[in-house]
Structure 1
Amino acid sequence: MTRFDFHIAATDGAARTGTISMARGVIRTPAFMPVGTAATVKAVKPADVRAAGADIILGNTYHLMLRPGAERVARLGGLHRFMGWERPILTDSGGYQVMSLSELTKVTEEGVSFKSHLDGTRHLLSPERSVEIQRLLGSSIVMQFDQLVPTTTSRDEQQGAMERSIRWARRSREEFDRGEQHAAGSALFGIQQGALDEGLRRESAQGLIDIGFDGYAVGGLAVGEGQEAMLGCLDFAPGQLPADKPRYLMGVGKPDDIVEAVVRGIDMFDCVLPTRSGRTGQAFTADGPINLRNARFAEDQEPLEPGCPCPTCTGWSRAYVHHLVRSGEILGAMLMTEHNLWFYQQLMQGLRDAIARGGLTNHARAFLDRYRARDAR
């Protein structure tokens, strides 16, 4: 059984393409992970997520611990069996959701105590409990528990959260290793913190490297700092992490964000954007996003994106999808989401192919110029 093997097949500048091999399948990198927050990628069946090209999806520790409960999922055979997805699943640690969704949150060295946004019950999420929940779910890739603070906080606060995240990383590592049976077939990633500060990021990376992880995430970005600031951080943050391990940029993002991050050496991504946008009438295309609610699409017989091979584009017109969206029909959300998932996976395949042939610079520039042209107008 292959527990975890990262193979870099080709490089182009800082960018890499390769594979992550695990017991449940091979993940092609750079990879985009559709988000299955509550044990489902919203509005799409697992088989259709796979048909779009996804090798791995993401599940959410915070939401699953509250409903239906990690212990219940374990009794039902684990998350893969529960949701009908047999390929790898990465679960986040729950730290971001605790900070962003919960009321009356209190952070101590032990962990984060919080009030559920569902029913007001009190919970404590610690490094040990976060890893235990991910073990009960049967996660393929487990994320360490960390503390995220906004990039607008003081440097002292950012340093304090970064240092605590290193201490929590060690506790996460120890708890992961205690679950020998699960650890034998899964992987653990550490999360670099430090906001936009190069020195703090370097200190965080070194602390994580000293502990040792299967992969490393760049955390604490895409939380309102803006694209320019995020890319400025990515000019140095990935290079501080081990070159022989996968680098995962958490919560990103827009198609142009992904292209820019791949150029800077990122291997893995996740974001709710393609599914959330699909449910609200926004379709992604090579010429930028379009809003199918607009009246100009009412008699448009073109597909969402001419030339796109997805089932939505090969089966229905913009006019029909516009009608579904404006009518509030569930099928509209399903068709839009399916197209967006295909768009994202084709984006990743194009990047992998460009790196493999040594043509990423031209490929990325052509994509970005076309995708951003509508904004320029």
Structure 2
Amino acid sequence: MVRPLQFQVLKTYKKARASTMTLPHGEVYTPVYMPVGTKGTIKGVTSQQMKNLDCRILLGNTYHLAYQPGGDYMEKVGGLHKFMNWDRNILTDSGGFQMVSLSKLCNITEEGVTFEHPGDGSIMKLKPEDSVHRQNQIGGDILMALDDVVKTTHDDLQRMDEACDRTIRWIDRNIEAHARKSDQNLFPIVQGGLDEKMRIKCLEALIAKDANGYAIGGLSGGEAKTDFFKIVNLCTDYLPKDKPRYCMGVGYPEDLVLASCLGVDMFDCVFSTRTARFGTAFTKYGFLNLKRQELENDFTPIEEGCECEACKNYTKSYLHNVIGKEPSACNLVSMHNINYLLTLMKRQRQSIIDGTLEEFVNDFLKNYYSKQKELPDFVYKALEYADIKITFKFDK
């Protein structure tokens, strides 16, 4: 059987890779940021606007879509692609992350997880078989295996080890339940917290399943970034070189750049649109709070040279005056932030192909941290893992 995912590494630079991933709904060029449409929509942005930004893959969430409008409904209307009028690729989360985000409302056993919905109190049972079946109904191009997720800051090592072992045991149930192997790809998720031995145990067990791709899970949960990059580096050292690697829940610009240097191919996070709704825009010089009073008379765009609709047509002054008051402001800043991350990864990809990644990373860091005039410790550590030198000094 021909796999519904083809992955070609075009060029490498140390650990970093520029690759092309071919899925049922077209090619995806990695490294890539994937915007999150939790309930079948990117908050504040239409599907057509996402196409205009040249987004080639986005996310949907199984837990939320299974609750509303429901798996049977999604199957009846032809899946999430038709439901949201999106003819490009979709990745669906398994619902496992809700074990963390809704931890006070769920109960986890060997059979699966039971959720109490925070809105109406209804009960949803989610076993590995249920998660995969609902993802088959939703119809994404990439499905995530249901895993047992524990926050990295959890201080109970026994619970962490239990979650790691359960993730390994559940993978066979996920694979067995997967009914659409010819047109959907199931990715296992590596767990193990910040414990290297647990991570290696999980890595070895999941790699043995010869999946079409793999995810690094359980991070971005409040751990120190030095610990985050240590585990990312460990995982990319072990994961197959000919399969895509997806680091879940990562959306800060500096984290995308550094993790890409370590060999990660795919990222997702709601942060780009969530922070936009509060009036914060991404720029090459860091975050810009559009609510700042001094922007009232600033008639320049958020970022010179940015090709998004907000920057081509509106000023900081305009956005300052409408943010938090008009829905259009959320739309404009969300599009800008998404475009910023999509473009950042395109530029990083091109630098890998051109053999100029070290120059790209140094230029990014020099601008991004120009206000602080110093780099955080985790940057030095991540670049040490990546074997990339820092070649500049800040002007004092």
CA distance in 1, matches of 2:174, 2:285: 43
3-state SS of paired residue (1:334): helix
Q: Which residue of 1 aligns with 2:176?
A: 174
Further displaced range: 223-232 or 59-68: 223-232
Q: 1:88-139: per-residue Cα shift (whole Å, max 9, x none)? A: 1000000111331254421110001120112101121110000001000011
- Does residue 209 of structure 2 align to residue 197 of structure 1? no
Q: Which residue of structure 2 lines up, in the alignment, with residue 9 of structure 1?
A: 10
Provide the residue aligned with 1:19 in structure 2: 20
Tell me how far apart the structure 2 counterparts of residues 309 and 211 of structure 1 sit (CA, whole Å).
43
Quick one: structure 1 residues 2 and 50, their matched pair in 2 at CA, closer, same or farther if it must change by over 3 Å?
farther
Partner of 1:144 in structure 2?
A: 145
In structure 1, how many angstroms separate the alpha carbons of the residues matched to 2:257 and 2:326? 33
CA contact (8 A) 1:304 1:313 kept: yes
Aligned residue runs from structure 1 range 200-239, under 5 A: 200-239=198-237
Between the aligned partners of 2:106 and 2:373, the Cα distance in structure 1 is 42
Q: CA 1:144–1:2 in structure 2 vs 1: closer, same or farther (change >3 Å)?
A: closer
The answer for the alignment partner of 1:278 in structure 2 is 276
Amino acid at match of 2:157: R
Give the equivalent residue in structure 2 for 1:317. Answer: 315
Deviations for 1:233-260, whole angstroms, at most 9, x for unmatched residues? 2221211111110000000020000001
Between 167-176 and 146-155, the greater mean CA deviation after superposition? 146-155
**SS of structure 2 residue aligned to 1:275:** helix
Match for residue 343 of structure 2 among 335, 341, 346 = 346
Q: Retained in 2: the 8 A contact 1:103–1:116?
A: no
Q: Which amino acid aligns with 2:342?
A: Q
Secondary structure of the residue that 1:44 maps to in structure 2? coil
Equivalent residue, structure 1, for 2:394:
none
Contact conserved, 1:25 with 1:87, CA < 8 A, in 2? yes
SS at match of 2:208: helix
Amino acid at match of 2:204: Q
Kept in 2: contact 1:17–1:356 (CA 8 A): yes
Unmatched 5+ stretches in structure 1: none
Provide the rounded CA distance (Å) in 1 between the counterparts of 2:172 and 2:44: 38
Aligned length: 372
Amino acid at match of 1:331: S
- Are the counterparts in 2 of residues 221 and 250 from structure 1 also a CA contact under 8 Å? yes
Provide the aligned C-alpha RMSD in A.
Answer: 1.3
Q: What residue identity is the alignment partner of 1:175? A: A
* 1:255 matched residue in structure 2: 253
Q: Percent identity?
A: 40
Counterpart-to-counterpart distance in 2, 1:37 and 1:343:
20
The residue type paired with residue 148 of structure 2 is Q
Separation in 2 of the partners of 1:139 and 1:359? Answer: 35
SS at match of 2:264: coil
Partner of 1:154: 156
Q: Aligned equivalents of 2:138 and 2:373: distance in 1?
A: 45
SS in 1 for 2:17: strand
Which residues of 2 match residues 287-302 of structure 1 at below 5 A?
Answer: 287-302=285-300
TM-score under structure 2 normalisation?
A: 0.91
TM-score with structure 1 length normalisation?
Answer: 0.96
**Code of the aligned partner of 2:62:** T
Alignment correspondent of 1:368: 365
Look up the match of 2:92.
91
